[in-house]
Amino acid sequence: MSQYPTDRPDTPALGPLGQIRIGDRAARTLTTELARHAGPKTALLVGATADSLVLAEALDALLPGDRLTVVAADATVAGHLATLGSFLAERVKVVDELAAAESADLVIVAEPVVGSGEEARNTVEQLSKYVAEGGLLIIAAVALPGLSGGATDELDRIAARQGVGSDLVLRNTPPVRVHRLRFTDVDASVAAKLSPAFRPSSVPLFGTMNIDSNGVAAAGIALGAAAFLKATRPKSKAWVLPALLAGPVAAFFRDPERDIPADPTAVVAAADGKVLSVEHIYDERFADEEFLRIAVFLSVLDVHVNRAPVAGKVVDYFVEDGGYANAMKPEAEHNVAAYTVLETPDRSRVVVAQRTGLIARRIVQRAPIGALLAKGERFGLIRFGSRTDVYLPADKAEALVAPGDRVVGGSTVIARLR
């Protein structure tokens, strides 16, 4: 049974009462596009209740000049908003049904979509009509398909066509996957208005230190192996080794917060490490022009999370096969590599190459084609070190680092664009 009335033709099929809740991390994930956009912007929040954490996060993200329309799930929402002061009263409008709303830059669904695949498809089709040109529909599905009918599988299929990013939120009851869907093209210049997005893959530890979710999984596997050995071989000390490895393995995936330079001409390092080379090359895979390439070597002791060197739109992504040579040697030029091509607000092409190495055999890239990345935003990682190259248009870029320099991903200015 749906939590919300279904007798109105414009009411989406949202989460069932008592089975699904949106916790704080899921709510923050659903509203991160609203929070990161400097505005002015418009948003439409569908299916919110007065005590919804998604509503609270949306209200907290509003800036002067922003406008939010809430399609209320019950009659308490308007009264709740009336108690929050004149700042919100001027920026927030409450309507009883979707038909009374106008299109918006961001359409956010406050509860996971459930039901059959056809119902999910109809919901997306219905809500897509309210997404403004270049805007996003942000919608969640239960990550356990058995709890949502066919809605989860259908939303996965839609995201494969229209998606510009998905985030799995495990710390929710039950886990949910948040999809960002775009139905019309968006200009790369919008990326310049964005700050780095909140991503649940970056799990907070303490202070400004986070750990990537890959590290949580790796440490969990090590501790699980230790517990298994301890249970099955109680007289053996074999469990000690995986137990001791859990800490160092997790440390490999540390993901600290970084201060990102505000200067729009600054190009920041895509990774922590040591500059291997600064050179001018031609590479026709990206454009028929000369590039300034800055290569950085990541040791196993460096932070492995990769960040966008500039603000831009992902216009291409591809992986090329190759070997696994030591990343510090010339042969590494032909290693397995993943290439993320960004279009900047001035229509230049900037490329980040994530290269494997002798130890690094796994590349993670979380920014699909069509995604907008803010400068310094996390977009992937290379497991256990290796090399990250940044390609910049040679006629517009001036290198500010030299071979041997140490750089910090997201913070160190490695070049300046003219």
Which residues are known catalytic residues? Answer: 386
Cα separation of 351 and 316, whole Å?
9
Cα separation of 65 and 201, whole Å?
31
Helix (H, G, I), strand (E, B) or coil at 307: strand
> Could you give phi then psi for residue 285, rounded to 5 degrees?
-65, -25
Decide: residue 261, CB within 10 A, 0-12 exposed, 13-18 middle, 19+ buried. middle
Structure tokens given for 164: 């510009």
Q: Can you say whether residue 323 is alpha, beta or left, with left for phi > 0 and alpha for psi between -120 and 50 degrees?
A: beta
Q: What letters, b where the CB count within 10 A reaches 16 and e where it falls short, cover 350-376?
A: bbbbbbbbbebeebbbebbebbbbbbb
Provide the sign of the torsion angle of the four alpha carbons 137, 140, 145, 146, taken in this order: negative
> Could you give phi then psi for residue 377, rounded to 5 degrees?
-75, 140
Q: Which amino acid is at 3?
A: Q
Structure tokens given for 139: 């919608």
How many residues in the chain? 418
Cα separation of 350 and 189, whole Å?
14
Q: What is the dihedral of CA 267, 200, 357, 282, to 10 degrees?
A: -30
**CA 271 to chain centroid:** 17
Identify the CA nearest to 151 among candidates 192, 182, 109.
109
Cα separation of 337 and 203, whole Å?
26
Q: How many CB atoms lie within 10 A of CB 100?
A: 12
Biggest alpha carbon distance in the chain? Answer: 70
Strands annotated E in 170-216: 176-181, 202-206, 209-212
DSSP letter assigned to residue 239: T
CB-based contacts of 330: which residues, under 8 Å, 6+ apart? none
Structure tokens given for 333: 């030029």
